[in-house]
């Protein structure tokens, strides 16, 4: 096994660029090469087994060994391995999947535009908003409001939407017409003694003031994750989305719901929109759409937006947008089978059964000396690591406490993800209560490690 490990590490170091990694680090000493998976577990090239507490990248909802998805891919690849949707072509899996998505989507969404990733789904949402307003004779109404700490992808447009400094630094982002509003994190940004409702009201007033300062006639849409994932699992304060949507309606501003992480049961409902009462004009999905077995995403749009696309297509002779693999028949077949499994096995019912235990174990960590905050909903959550609980002062970034915590858990057979000062948990939706205990027992041990190995030195 060690020979295989060395071979993989050496070959990797010679050939690969690793996304979201510090490329200056010695990859060979840090590399974790996963070779197989089973249920909620994965195994590396040394035979070490890990509980995957992040479902890969917030995404492998049905775990790592669902035979029905493998069978669906095999059957479709033998029948029709590829065809496209350009120039009025279609495939049965694409049609079937679009029908199924619209049948479970929030009310008002009527058409589906497929792509390959969440980044692309959000990128094309931006293009559609601009296209829509051009058709409406409002060429100045183009600004898209995102939020700080929001995450919407890494393409030029979606990377601009993402509200994380590292995603902008030296990439020359954000581009024109992308602006950012306040982050709805009560823990990070509330005033002393400010209730969630008061904080939500202040953020809504700030948003309206921002719209007025920009000029309502220039603001086209707001994009929001129901729960912000990669920004640190930011759960919105009570009443936030109700207030925000009133403002959007007041100024004729579209709402784009980014369900790439929250969609298909993660928050306890089929979509985060249901959990938080969102009524989007556009909704994007990916990740759990196929349990990440194959890459596929979708941008769902309202009838009024589709009608505008039709009119502009008539004007220009073509709707000049699309990607080669949009609605790829094999990916669509796997996604359709994924949605069938959610229904047939009542995955939402299972989440309802185990999520209270997940959230109780998470909330119990709040008393730990190096935990400033716990937050979550359904089967997603995070803890905020702090050097000083009273002042909420974080550890100095150079000390690498988050990565050290993550590495400690990995050595003990559990994978989580450090996100700046937060540590996120997002297991497969099929996780059991017993496996939830394995996850949080490891987290408690990791917090003991932090208390033992790191002093209270702060930034």
| Domain co-membership, 249 together with 291 | yes
Output the CA–CA distances (angstroms, integers) from residue 89 to 84, 98, 121, 239, 353, in the order listed.
6, 15, 21, 45, 43
Are 387 and 372 in contact by the 8 Å Cβ rule? The answer is no
Tell me the pLDDT of the chain averaged across its residues: 96
Whether the per-residue pLDDT at 459 is higher than 60: the answer is no
The answer to the question of residue 408 being in a domain is: yes
Q: Characterize 120-154 residue by residue with b for buried, 16 or more Cβ atoms within 10 angstroms of its Cβ, and e for exposed.
A: bbbbbbbebbbbbbebeeeeebbbbbbbbbbbbbb
The answer to the question of residue 141 being in a domain is: yes
At 26 the pLDDT is 76
Instruction: Using the 3D structure, point to which of 310, 344, 378 is the last residue of a domain.
Output: 344
Task: Write out pLDDT tens, residues 108-133.
Answer: 999 999 999 999 999 999 999 999 99
Rounded Cα distance, 275 and 268, in Å: 7
| Domain co-membership, 146 together with 115 | yes
Which residue has better confidence, 260 or 21? 260
The answer to the question of residue 422 being in a domain is: yes
Task: Write out pLDDT tens, residues 200-233.
Answer: 999 999 999 999 999 999 999 999 999 999 999 9
| Domain co-membership, 43 together with 162 | no
Rounded Cα distance, 287 and 85, in Å: 21
| Closest C-alpha to 182, from 228, 218, 137, 126 | 228
Whether the per-residue pLDDT at 145 is higher than 90: the answer is yes
At 380 the pLDDT is 98
At 457 the pLDDT is 52
| Domain co-membership, 53 together with 120 | no
Are 203 and 240 in contact by the 8 Å Cβ rule? The answer is yes
Tell me the residue range of the domain where 236 lies: 69-344
| Domain co-membership, 56 together with 123 | no
Instruction: Using the 3D structure, point to which of 318, 344, 370 is the last residue of a domain.
Output: 344
Task: Write out pLDDT tens, residues 381-390.
Answer: 999 999 999 9
340 has which bridge partners? none
| Domain co-membership, 394 together with 282 | no
| Domain co-membership, 322 together with 358 | no
| Domain co-membership, 172 together with 213 | yes
The answer to the question of residue 21 being in a domain is: no
The answer to the question of residue 1 being in a domain is: no
Whether the per-residue pLDDT at 150 is higher than 70: the answer is yes
CATH number for position 383: 3.90.1150.10
Mean pLDDT of all residues in 443-449: 97
At 456 the pLDDT is 55
3-state secondary structure labels for all residues of the chain: CHHHHHHHHHHHHHHCCCCCCCCCCCHHHHCCCEEEEECCEEEECCCCEEEECCHHHHCCCCCCCCHHHHHHHHHHHHHCCCCCCHHHCCCHHHHHHHHHHHHHCCCCEEEEEEECCHHHHHHHHHHHHHHHHHHCCCCCCCEEEEECCCCCCCCHHHHHHCCCHHHHCCCCCCCCCEEEECCCCHHHHCCCCCCHHHHHHHHHHHHHHHHHHHCHHHEEEEEECCCECCCCCECCCCCHHHHHHHHHHHCCCEEEEECCCCCCCCCCCCCHHHHHCCCCCEEEECHHHCCCCCCCEEEEEEHHHHHHHHHHHHHHCCCCCCCCCCCCHHHHHHHHHHHHHHHHCCHHHHHHHHHHHHHHHHHHHHHCCCEEEEEEECCEEEEEECCECCCCECCCHHHCHHHHHHHHHHHCCEECEEECCEEEECCCCCCCHHHHHHHHHHHHHHHHHHHHHCCCCCC
Task: Write out pLDDT tens, residues 151-171.
Answer: 999 999 999 999 999 999 999
The answer to the question of residue 12 being in a domain is: no
Question: pTM here?
Answer: 0.95
The answer to the question of residue 17 being in a domain is: no
CATH number for position 202: 3.40.640.10
| Domain co-membership, 124 together with 81 | yes
| Domain co-membership, 236 together with 103 | yes
| Domain co-membership, 326 together with 365 | no
Mean pLDDT of all residues in 52-68: 98
pLDDT above 90 covers a percentage of the chain that reads: 92
The answer to the question of residue 321 being in a domain is: yes
Mean pLDDT of all residues in 251-271: 98
| Domain co-membership, 316 together with 279 | yes
pLDDT above 70 covers a percentage of the chain that reads: 97
Instruction: Using the 3D structure, point to which of 344, 362, 390 is the last residue of a domain.
Output: 344
Instruction: Report the domain count for the chain.
Output: 2
């Amino acid at each position: 096994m060690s020979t295989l490990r060395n071979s993989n590490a050496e070959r990797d170091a010679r050939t690969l660029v690793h996304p979201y990694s510090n490329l200056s680090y010695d990859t060979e000493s840090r590399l974790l090469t996963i070779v197989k998976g089973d249920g909620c577990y994965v195994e590396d090239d040394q035979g070490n087994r890990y509980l995957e507490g992040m479902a890969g990248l917030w995404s492998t909802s049905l775990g790592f060994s669902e035979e029905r998805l493998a069978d669906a891919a095999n059957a479709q690849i033998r029948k029709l391995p590829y065809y496209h949707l350009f120039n009025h072509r279609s495939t049965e899996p694409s049609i079937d999947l679009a029908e199924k998505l619209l049948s479970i989507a929030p009310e008002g969404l009527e058409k589906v535009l497929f792509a390959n990733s969440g980044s692309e789904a959000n990128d094309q949402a931006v293009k559609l908003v601009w296209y829509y307003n051009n058709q409406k004779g409002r060429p100045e109404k183009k600004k898209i409001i995102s939020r700080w700490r929001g995450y919407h992808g890494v393409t030029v447009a979606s990377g601009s939407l993402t509200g994380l400094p590292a995603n902008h630094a030296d990439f020359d982002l954000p581009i024109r017409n992308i602006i950012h509003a306040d982050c709805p994190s009560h823990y990070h940004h509330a005033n002393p003694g400010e209730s969630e409702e008061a904080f939500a009201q202040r953020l809504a007033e700030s948003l309206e003031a921002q719209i007025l300062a920009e000029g309502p006639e220039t603001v086209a849409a707001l994009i929001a994750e129901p729960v912000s994932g990669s920004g640190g699992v930011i759960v919105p304060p009570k009443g936030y989305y109700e207030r925000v949507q009133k403002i959007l309606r007041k100024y004729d501003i579209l709402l784009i719901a980014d369900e790439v992480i929250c969609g298909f049961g993660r928050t306890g409902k089929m979509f985060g929109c249901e959990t938080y009462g969102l009524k989007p004009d556009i909704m994007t999905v990916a990740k759990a759409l196929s349990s990440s077995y194959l890459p596929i995403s979708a941008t769902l749009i309202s009838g009024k937006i589709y009608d505008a696309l039709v009119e502009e297509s008539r004007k220009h002779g073509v709707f000049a947008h699309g990607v080669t693999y949009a609605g790829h028949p094999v990916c669509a077949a796997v996604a359709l089978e994924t949605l069938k499994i959610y229904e047939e096995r009542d995955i939402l019912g299972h989440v309802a059964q185990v999520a209270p235990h997940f959230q109780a174990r998470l909330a119990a960590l709040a008393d730990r000396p190096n935990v400033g905050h716990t937050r979550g909903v359904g089967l997603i959550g995070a803890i905020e690591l702090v050097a000083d609980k009273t002042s909420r002062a974080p550890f100095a970034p150079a000390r690498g406490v988050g990565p050290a915590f993550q590495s400690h858990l990995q050595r003990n057979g559990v994978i989580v993800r450090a996100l700046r000062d937060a540590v996120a948990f997002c297991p497969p939706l099929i996780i059991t209560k017993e496996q939830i205990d394995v996850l949080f027992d490891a987290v408690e041990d990791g917090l003991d490690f932090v208390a033992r190995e790191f002093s209270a030195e702060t930034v």
